[in-house]
Structure formats: C-alpha cells, structure tokens
Amino acid sequence: MDRPLFSTYSTDENRVSGSSLAVLERLSLSTLEALLSTVSEEDLALVRFRTQPSNPFGPGVPDGAIEASALLLFEFKIQPNSVGSAQLEQHLTWLSHSEASSRRLFYITPDRERPAELDNVEDPSQIVWTSYKLLNDAITDVLAEPVDLVSERERFLLRELADMFRQEGLVEGFDTVVVAGRVSWPEYQKFGIYACQAQRSFRAVPYFGFYVDKAIQPLLPRRLLWLPEVTFDTDTAEQLQQSDNALERRVGEAIPAVLASTARGPREVFGVMVLSRANDRETLRVDPVPHCEPGAWTQSQRYTSSELLQRGPRDTSQLAGWELERGLR
C-alpha cells in the first residue's frame, strides 16, 4: 500500500525522508533507475530482463528471466555536517550481511561537498553521496527526457518533490525564511525580535520575512541572534538586560513590553530570533507580495529567495515562475 505522498511527520528530517521515499516508490522502474543512475554516476540496473539466458547450473534454457537482486539503503540528513559515524557503521553492517549483487548506501545531505566521514570507512565505494542541490539537478535531467519515457504523473511527482526541497530550504539560492506573522509582525516592528515556540527548527539562511493578511510583508530583516529557549519573566528580563551582548540586552528590554502589549502569558518559554530593525542597513526592503490563490501561502514557515522578492513579483505565483526560469523545476 502506498504511503501518503507528502508525509505528515512533525519532525523535519522524517518529513523529508518520508516524502522522498513516497515519490520514489511511485516511479516506474525505468524512471527510478534513470534517477538513481544519474545521482550515483553509475549504471544501477535494479532489475534485469534477459531472453533465453543460459543456465549457470546445468542444461536447459528458459525463454526469459527477470532478475532482481539489489539492496539500496537511504539516509536523509537536513543539517550540514550531521553524518554520524555510529549510524554509518550500522548501515554498512547491514550491507555487508546482504547477499544482494548490487549494494549501495545513499546519503542525501545539504553539504556542499561529500562529508569526510563517508570516506573514513573500509569500503567507501559502496556509499553514494549527493546533496539536495545535486539531486534536484538529477530530477531536472530526468524531466528533460521525452514524454514517452517519463509520464506526466511522474513529472508531477518529481516536480512536487523538488519543490518540497526548496520550501524546506535544502537547495542553494533560497536564502529567506518567511513565517506566518499575524502576531509576530507587529512585535518585530516594535521590538526587533521574533518570538515563537521554543527550540523551533530553522535553516541557516540569512534573511527573515513575514506573511500577514495574504501577503509577504515589505521588510526582510537579517538574522542576528537565535536564542532557542527564553522564559518571558521578570528574572530573565533583568538577567538579559545585564548581558555584555547588546543583542541579548535587546531581548531583555523587549520581554516586559511584549508581555504588556500582547496575549503572551508570563513565564511562557519561547525561542527568540533577534533581527535587524526596519531602518538598519542590513534589512532589505521589497514591495509587498500578495497571495491571490485560495488558502494560505504558508501557515508555518516557507523558504524563498531574497533575489526574487527584490525583483518585485506580481504575486506569489511568480515565485514558482522564477524557479522555472532558473531551471530548477
């Protein structure tokens, strides 16, 4: 039974891996082989079809044979420099005990270069590494195949997968995270901070944006400091106000004002992102980008490009148009 196409896992890494495997299992054998062969730069024949093959064990020649003997393991990482040696050895142990004729361990990570840990093993040739950028390029190559080789259904699935990689901030060029900001947008304008749930996960992108009232707002402040857990109370405010770090002092000064002006409760714990202020040189200014389609452009967070937003797109539908122009889709 097919798993849901785009996983509902709350953990980012599980969501990316679950969704990726859901797409792979829906591809035809020929398209899957083409994609994995492009990524691995070798001819990965998962299934062999042979006519009148010779019998290696004695006389008798059947009319045909279909042989499948491959073990391909996949490990998806969404943070750079996160390949763990213990987990790597466990996966390689599984491969070493397999009798499959074709054995490969695929590591998909956001690193710009192959992680050194993947070569510090007895047989690194069994490990195929690719970045999400390279995987995205491989998808582009497969989509360039004629329609009679890659169906419209498969093209839709691969485009959606590539789009998910970009929305998750895993592909180079997407340097801005845009958050749903009904409450946080006014707070940012007053205090220069963004408060959200503690330990929230963000990609290491430099710019921050806010989506409010069906539009991306006109300021893209630069990320300056991330404090993953801050208790909004008097003691914490006073402690931060005495810090040697000016950005931490800003948070300490903002806490009492935030509690007095919003519905945020005292002693709640938040993650706090300190951002450049509206008039700071680091803050980019753009035209508001409306979202004219049904539903919200994002209800949590989504990644895009500051370069595109500074071009002044008519609406959010042109974000995808930029991806097409850049050949990412």
- Write the pLDDT tens digit of every residue in 66-94: 877 789 999 999 888 899 999 999 999 99
The pLDDT of residue 5? 56
C-alpha distance from residue 26 to each of 10, 31, 126, 285, 326 (Å): 23, 10, 25, 42, 27
The structure tokens listed for 39 are: 């990524």
In degrees to the nearest 10, what's the CA dihedral of 149, 150, 153, 158? 170
Residues 6+ apart with CB under 8 A from 230: 195, 198, 236, 240, 251, 255, 269, 270, 271, 272
pTM, two decimal places: 0.57
For 103-134, b where at least 16 C-beta lie within 10 A, e where not — what string? bbbbbbbbbeebbebbeeeeeeebbbbbbbbe
Partners of 176 in the β-ladder: 207, 304
Question: Are 168 and 204 in contact, with CB atoms under 8 Å apart?
Answer: no
- Write the pLDDT tens digit of every residue in 44-60: 778 877 787 777 767 77
The pLDDT of residue 238? 96
Q: Give the residue among 132, 29, 127, 38 at the shortest CA–CA distance from 74.
A: 127
The structure tokens listed for 154 are: 């498969």
Number of neighbours of residue 90 by Cβ within 10 angstroms: 10
Distance between CA atoms of residues 268 and 90, nearest Å? 40
**Residue-range domain boundaries for the chain:** 12-167, 176-325
Q: Give the residue among 286, 287, 280, 304 at the shortest CA–CA distance from 222.
A: 280
C-alpha distance from residue 119 to each of 83, 94, 123 (Å): 11, 18, 8
- Write the pLDDT tens digit of every residue in 272-305: 999 999 999 999 999 999 999 988 898 888 888 8
The pLDDT of residue 215? 97
- Which amino acid is located at 320 in the chain? A
pLDDT-above-90 percentage for the chain: 44
Question: Are 132 and 39 in contact, with CB atoms under 8 Å apart?
Answer: no
Partners of 48 in the β-ladder: 67
The structure tokens listed for 113 are: 């270069």
The H-assigned helical ranges of the chain are 12-24, 29-40, 85-96, 132-143, 152-167, 184-191, 234-241, 246-261, 306-311, 317-325
Domain range 176-325, its CATH number among 2.60.40, 2.30.130, 1.10.287, 1.10.10: 2.30.130
